[in-house]
A and B are shown apart, each in its own frame.
Chain A
Amino acid sequence: MMHMIARRLLQLPLVLLAVVVVTFALVWLIPGNPMQHEGRQPPPEVAQAMNRQYSLDSPVTFLGGYLARVSGVGWVLGWNTAPVDFGPSMRHPDWTVNEIIRAGFPVSATIGLGAIAIALVVGTCAGLVGGLRPGSWWDASTQTVALIGISIPSFVTGSLLIVLFAGKLRIFPIGGWGSPSQAILPMVTLSLPFAAYIARLLRFGLIEQMHTDHLRTARAKGLSRRQAAWRHALKNAFLPVLSFLGPATAAAMTGSFVVEKVFAIPGLGRHFVEGVLGKDITLVMGIVLVYAALLVVFNLLVDVLYVWIDPRIELASAPSR
């Protein structure tokens, strides 16, 4: 197990390197110049000077300099003050990408984690209800709600929640960020598709588990349907949910553009999309790197939990002795 963790962590820099190179190639291909905006244009000489300053005239120089600053080489050589320096934002000259991520990530992460927590509770309950009584009225209604949860886009649910809870009932503030009450509605909005997905995964898992031999044995030994499910079926039925949770948590933590826009939340999701639209190369690459690192870490975490829940997995993957 430790071997696996160490190997995966050692792979991390390689994965990130690949991500940097691919992202860079894609962002570089976006037409236009990041220094140029839609408003009033400076004299053309100014644009040239800026291209030179940010190495926009040479992709190789740009990528080389970027890798040095991000990898810590630049820090060792004394080029930059932060060990990992994502550089200045190209569209927002007053901010560095480090500052933007430092400000935006905790916001997105809080909403994302909150949403995953809500989704886990709601999704598990709904999945249990449906999985234990498949075909019942309860099952049909939770499945319908789950289907709606997956199908309705968050800008619709978000706007509806705002109008209802913030506009009419005035229980929560309209938007913005800074207090826990401002986080509730976005968390709920973001959690709905996740909850629906978890409910469906768990339901199918449970139905399958309830028909396995060991469950039948447990029932024969006198356990009630509920007890058997709780003690023996749930753990196994939860495995697909767990593997879904890894990437889902990483995705939720790095922010949802739609939810952040609807609720006027200064999170990474919004910064990322605006970065792409404005060809803010450094900002886009910085956020993608954070996302990639999170994805690797959470997938690793899920794999560790997998082994812990289902020891057969390690036996299968361990080298033959």
Chain B
Amino acid sequence: MRWVCCVLLVLLTAGAVVTFDGSRSRADITFASADVFTMDPQRMSYMQDLRVARALFEGLCARDNTLDRATPGVALNWDVSADGKKWTFHLRPEARWTNGDQVTSGDFRSAWRRLLLPDTAADYTELLFSVRGARAFFAWRVEALAQYVAGSIHDDAAAQALWTTTLETFDAMVAIHAPDDQTLVVELENPVPYWLDLCAFPTLAPIHERSLAKWTRINPATGLVQSDAGWTKPGVLVTNGPMKLVEWRYKRGMRLEPNELYVGANPPLAGSVEVVPIEDANTAVLAYESGSIDWISDLTAEFRADLAQASRQWREAHQTEFELRIAAGATVDEALAALPAPDMARGERRDVHVLSAFGTDFWSFNCRPLLSNSQPNPFADARVRRAFAQAVDKRALTSSVTRLNEPVATTLVPVGSIAGYTSPAGLSFDVARARQEMAAAGWIDRNADGIVENSAGVPFPTVDMLYMTGNPRVKNIAIALAAMWRDALGVQCELRAKDGKFAKEDLRRGNFMIARGGWYGDYADPTTFLDLSRTGNGNNDRAFSNARFDELLGEAERELDPTKRMALLTAAERLLVEEEMPILPLCQYVTLYMYDPAAVAGLTRHPRLDQQLSQLRRVRDASVSVLP
């Protein structure tokens, strides 16, 4: 017994010594976020990764959330040819990497080459496919790798030779040129109106090739060029943004501090910023209330609707004063901060913010002619899809089910989110029309049993509704949808919840009739949503394919006149949300932030929610007044 205790104590002390690191100073701003996956800019695609990358890296352009457009980043300015295809960027000569090296056009070129290599496994490879020769180069490399694997020689020399050829092919094929250290010339296949927006996207950020080279090797067995884990760690990762990475520990968080070598258009206003991954939604709220974090970047606690309501009521109680301050030129946060402090003891609060996001919550219809079990798919018929879409009372969903009053959506592109784009009307809630569509498709309740049958008397198959577990909101929506369809259309639905990976696999294999979906836009153009329904798109889980739709997108690609281009895109979306209906849009996504505007400043409410961590700061003087 004594010995057991002694052994335990010794081990315990050893463990404690290794793992406790004393009390570290709290960062100026600490916020809870989903766990960061990677700091490799070319590989990232998750919002939380992109958010950190925006502070660590600076692309050719940056995005100004207030002006809602791209502004100079590393590029001081740029010229564009008359046909909109050739862009010449002039880089800031004083731009520096965190190791003191100059940021050159070659750094952009090698980063973009990296993004285009299948070896990198980048989720956003396709962003660069608008560059002349890029798509062809990607295809060439895929083919070259396949031939290498199929060949008989797999040694270092052969792999190196393939790599040398790849570099030469890139130079010859892809229209990205760096005539000198400060000039980058890019030629596009077709004019891309949102090209500057792409240049501000973190995946197109430059990389410091020399520091990465030490972590890169060529696998002789496959010919693939790979970066080993490790090059993105603090002390190794060389960045060029307004902040630098000083600490990153697996699932324990990361810490950013201002980069003193940064010279550019977006100098940091923040002090230190710490990102902590807190997975348990309730723990995050408690951590916020105890003051250990300042901002919850995605409030998912189940009682969030109640918190949001308390915040809304408090604001409504001070509506006149609030509006006065807005009229006087204050931002929403400034106006909120200047109102009398809420009495937390009475349940009043001003720290829950329901923000519209640049994304649409939808459900997908399986458009394949056959289901995965080889049975005919009733949803291959657009009339059935339209019937299901029109039978959904979306307003009831957002007011009674999600209780967050999200803006109801009848289109895929959030209405009003893109300047110059007119959204089609889409289909509204109309049960009578829905029943007509079902009848037109041959589904009528012929024996008055409450279930519709086809002309052969076969009842409508039980609708298989697939969704991912772990999100009570989705589950509640699924239950409500099933009830609406049963009551309005006379069909039986069966809910099937699966874990993320399993659900994804079912989606890929087409093993569903209706499945939960959703999409966030990446750049300010309708194609960021519409591309999803292109034939063969990697994210087209529905396997929707429509020649007319593809043609409209193709025409829009070639159209030089911006107004006509937008009209073509509107026509394409109209086809999607009024006729073909592969996707049933429910509502615009909202993101719930939790922060006290009297304590934290610098967060944007722009629907893109592209937060600039380098601009976050603590409000020192809470009594800021902007009243005239």
Residue in chain A with minimal CB distance to B19: A106
Residues of A with C-beta under 8 A to B37: 91-94
Q: Judge if B289 is at the interface, Cβ distance under 8 Å.
A: yes
A42 touches B39 (CB 8 A): no
Q: Judge if B327 is at the interface, Cβ distance under 8 Å.
A: no
Residues of B with C-beta under 8 A to A120: 4-5, 8
Known contacts A32-B502, A177-B252, A179-B23, A94 near B40 by CB under 8 Å: yes
Q: Judge if A9 is at the interface, Cβ distance under 8 Å.
A: no
B501 touches A109 (CB 8 A): no
Quick check: which of A12-20, A160-168, A285-293 contacts chain B, the rest being far away? A160-168
Q: Judge if B317 is at the interface, Cβ distance under 8 Å.
A: no
Residues of B with C-beta under 8 A to A89: 229
B15 touches A53 (CB 8 A): no
A43 touches B40 (CB 8 A): no
C-alpha gap A32/B23 in the complex (Å)? 42
B251 touches A178 (CB 8 A): no
Q: Judge if B1 is at the interface, Cβ distance under 8 Å.
A: yes
Known contacts A109-B15, A117-B5, A261 near B292 by CB under 8 Å: no
A96 touches B230 (CB 8 A): yes
A31 touches B502 (CB 8 A): yes
B504 touches A32 (CB 8 A): yes
A175 touches B229 (CB 8 A): no
Residues of B with C-beta under 8 A to A190: none
Quick check: which of B119-127, B172-180, B191-199 contacts chain A, the rest being far away? B119-127
Known contacts A178-B24, A266-B249, A113 near B229 by CB under 8 Å: no
Residues of A with C-beta under 8 A to B11: 109, 113
Q: Judge if B80 is at the interface, Cβ distance under 8 Å.
A: no
A266 touches B278 (CB 8 A): no
Residues of B with C-beta under 8 A to A295: none
Q: Judge if A213 is at the interface, Cβ distance under 8 Å.
A: no
B249 touches A179 (CB 8 A): no
Quick check: which of A44-52, A66-74, A136-144, A219-227 contacts chain B, the rest being far away? A44-52
Among B120, B229, B504, contact of A36 (Cβ-Cβ < 8 Å): B504
C-alpha gap A278/B122 in the complex (Å)? 18
Residues of A with C-beta under 8 A to B15: 106, 109-110, 113
A43 touches B125 (CB 8 A): yes
Among B4, B142, B501, contact of A242 (Cβ-Cβ < 8 Å): B4
Q: Mark B18-56, 1 if CB is under 8 A from A, else 0.
A: 111111100000000000011110010110000000000
Residues of A216-246 contacting chain B, CB below 8 A = 234-235, 238, 242, 245
- A40 CB, min distance to chain B CBs, angstroms: 5
B20 touches A38 (CB 8 A): no
B501 touches A238 (CB 8 A): no
Residues of B with C-beta under 8 A to A159: 282
Q: Judge if B138 is at the interface, Cβ distance under 8 Å.
A: yes
Q: Judge if B606 is at the interface, Cβ distance under 8 Å.
A: no
Q: Judge if A122 is at the interface, Cβ distance under 8 Å.
A: no
Residue in chain A with minimal CB distance to B252: A266
Q: Judge if A212 is at the interface, Cβ distance under 8 Å.
A: no
Interface of A is mostly: helix
Among A50, A263, A308, contact of B283 (Cβ-Cβ < 8 Å): A263
Known contacts A179-B23, A266-B252, A39 near B12 by CB under 8 Å: no
Residues of A with C-beta under 8 A to B286: 162-163, 166-167, 174-175
Residues of B110-143 contacting chain A, CB below 8 A = 118-126, 138-139, 142
Residues of A with C-beta under 8 A to B70: none
C-alpha gap A30/B504 in the complex (Å)? 13
Residues of B with C-beta under 8 A to A104: 250-251
Q: Judge if B224 is at the interface, Cβ distance under 8 Å.
A: yes
Among B12, B149, B224, B538, contact of A44 (Cβ-Cβ < 8 Å): B538
C-alpha gap A170/B284 in the complex (Å)? 15
Among A261, A278, A308, contact of B280 (Cβ-Cβ < 8 Å): A261
Known contacts A32-B501, A167-B286, A93 near B12 by CB under 8 Å: no
Residues of A102-122 contacting chain B, CB below 8 A = 103-104, 106-107, 109-110, 113-114, 116-117, 120
- B239 CB, min distance to chain A CBs, angstroms: 14
Residue in chain B with minimal CB distance to A258: B280
Residue in chain A with minimal CB distance to B16: A110
B250 touches A103 (CB 8 A): yes
B19 touches A174 (CB 8 A): no
C-alpha gap A270/B283 in the complex (Å)? 15
Residues of A with C-beta under 8 A to B250: 92, 95, 99-100, 103-104, 266, 271
B5 touches A177 (CB 8 A): no
A50 touches B121 (CB 8 A): yes
- A1 CB, min distance to chain B CBs, angstroms: 15
Residues of A121-174 contacting chain B, CB below 8 A = 159, 162-163, 166-167, 170, 173-174
Residues of B246-268 contacting chain A, CB below 8 A = 249-252
- B227 CB, min distance to chain A CBs, angstroms: 8
Residue in chain A with minimal CB distance to B143: A45
C-alpha gap A277/B292 in the complex (Å)? 30
A46 touches B121 (CB 8 A): yes
A245 touches B290 (CB 8 A): no
Q: Judge if A88 is at the interface, Cβ distance under 8 Å.
A: yes
Residues of B with C-beta under 8 A to A183: 16, 20
Residue in chain B with minimal CB distance to A301: B7
Known contacts A52-B149, A174-B290, A178-B20, A43 near B126 by CB under 8 Å: yes
Known contacts A39-B46, A305-B4, A110 near B19 by CB under 8 Å: yes
- Max chain B C-beta neighbours (<10 A), residue from A92, A183, A264: A264
Residues of B with C-beta under 8 A to A41: 123, 538-539
C-alpha gap A120/B149 in the complex (Å)? 58
C-alpha gap A44/B510 in the complex (Å)? 16
A162 touches B283 (CB 8 A): yes
Q: Judge if B625 is at the interface, Cβ distance under 8 Å.
A: no
B39 touches A53 (CB 8 A): no
Residue in chain B with minimal CB distance to A175: B283
- A307 CB, min distance to chain B CBs, angstroms: 13
- A118 CB, min distance to chain B CBs, angstroms: 10
- Max chain B C-beta neighbours (<10 A), residue from A40, A116, A163, A174: A174
A43 touches B118 (CB 8 A): yes
Q: Mark A285-319, 1 if CB is under 8 A from B, else 0.
A: 00000000000000001000100100000000000
Residues of A with C-beta under 8 A to B228: 88
Known contacts A45-B118, A178-B21, A263-B283, A38 near B468 by CB under 8 Å: yes
C-alpha gap A107/B21 in the complex (Å)? 11
Residues of A with C-beta under 8 A to B120: 46
Known contacts A32-B504, A53-B226, A94-B38, A113 near B283 by CB under 8 Å: no
C-alpha gap A179/B284 in the complex (Å)? 18
C-alpha gap A113/B7 in the complex (Å)? 10
Known contacts A32-B501, A53-B222, A100-B250, A43 near B12 by CB under 8 Å: no
Q: Judge if A180 is at the interface, Cβ distance under 8 Å.
A: yes
B121 touches A49 (CB 8 A): yes
Residues of A with C-beta under 8 A to B229: 88-89, 92-96, 99
List 19 A–B pairs whose Cβ atoms lie within 8 Å, in order of A's numbering.
A31-B505, A38-B501, A42-B538, A43-B538, A47-B121, A52-B222, A53-B219, A92-B38, A95-B229, A110-B16, A114-B12, A170-B290, A176-B287, A177-B252, A180-B16, A238-B1, A264-B280, A279-B501, A308-B3
Q: Chain A: residues with CB nearer than 8 A to chain B? A: 30-32, 35-50, 52-53, 88-89, 91-96, 99-100, 103-104, 106-107, 109-110, 113-114, 116-117, 120, 159, 162-163, 166-167, 170, 173-180, 183, 234-235, 238, 242, 245, 249, 261-264, 266, 270-271, 277-279, 301, 305, 308
List 10 tightest A-B contacts by C-beta distance, closest first. Answer: A110-B15, A266-B251, A32-B501, A106-B19, A41-B538, A106-B18, A113-B12, A174-B287, A45-B142, A49-B118
Q: Chain B: residues with CB nearer than 8 A to chain A? A: 1, 3-5, 7-9, 11-12, 15-16, 18-24, 37-40, 43, 45-46, 118-126, 138-139, 142, 145, 149, 219, 222, 224, 226, 228-230, 232-233, 249-252, 276-280, 282-284, 286-287, 289-290, 292, 468, 499-505, 538-539
- Besides A40-B539, A100-B250, A110-B12, 9 more A-B contacts (Cβ < 8 Å) are A31-B501, A48-B118, A49-B119, A93-B37, A103-B249, A114-B12, A117-B9, A120-B5, A177-B19
